[in-house]
Every structure is written in structure tokens, then in C-alpha cells.
């Protein structure tokens, strides 16, 4: 089943996309970023105050548009965990 990916389509079209960086570990702050009109929001787990549980609540708060996650360290279990959440992008450092 194919689903439309407006974010990817706009990137491929060369559109300039603006984003926000969520590093506070706050669901409320991340939700505000989601409603602020950004084209994407990245939830930072490398430099920010985030862990697996705060990622989940923030991803739920970002039902307004594309979200990517950035997490320090790579292992198979962590990667599977993020893929199951179905967000648009992942960056593992």
C-alpha cells in the first residue's frame, strides 16, 4: 500500500523547508513546534534531554506533520523500535 509523502515530494521538488529542533524533552514544547508552522520537527536524543519514553509522547504530540528522530548509538533493537513508530526519518549518531 503506497501512501503519499508530502514531505518527500516537496524535498524532491527542491522546495525550501523550514524545521524546528526539539531537545527539551517536553511534550508541550514539541507540540507548540508542531503547530508553529514548521515543515518538519526533529526530536533530538543526542544533545537534547530526551529518552525513549519522551520520544514516544513527543511523537504523539506531533501529529501535525513530519517528524524525524535523532538518537545517539546504534543497535538493532533501537532501530527496530523507531521503525515501528513509523516516523519519516531517523538519524543515528
Catalytic machinery residues: 47
Indicate the burial class of 84 (C-beta count within 10 angstroms; 0-12, 13-18, 19 or more).
Answer: exposed
Task: Indicate the DSSP class of residue 28.
Answer: H
Q: Contact, 50 vs 79, CB < 8 A?
A: no
Sequence-distant (6+) residues with CB within 8 A of 17 are 7, 10, 11, 39, 40
Amino acid at each position: 500500500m503506497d501512501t503519499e509523502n508530502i514531505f518527500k515530494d516537496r524535498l524532491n521538488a527542491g522546495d525550501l523547508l523550514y524545521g524546528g529542533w526539539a531537545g527539551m524533552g517536553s511534550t508541550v514544547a514539541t507540540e507548540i513546534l508542531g503547530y508553529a508552522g514548521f515543515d518538519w520537527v526533529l526530536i533530538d536524543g543526542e544533545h537534547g534531554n530526551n529518552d525513549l519514553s519522551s520520544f514516544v509522547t513527543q511523537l504523539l504530540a506531533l501529529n501535525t506533520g513530519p517528524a524525524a528522530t535523532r538518537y545517539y548509538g546504534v543497535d538493532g533493537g533501537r532501530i527496530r523500535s523507531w521503525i515501528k513508530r513509523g516516523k519519516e526519518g531517523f538519524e543515528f549518531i
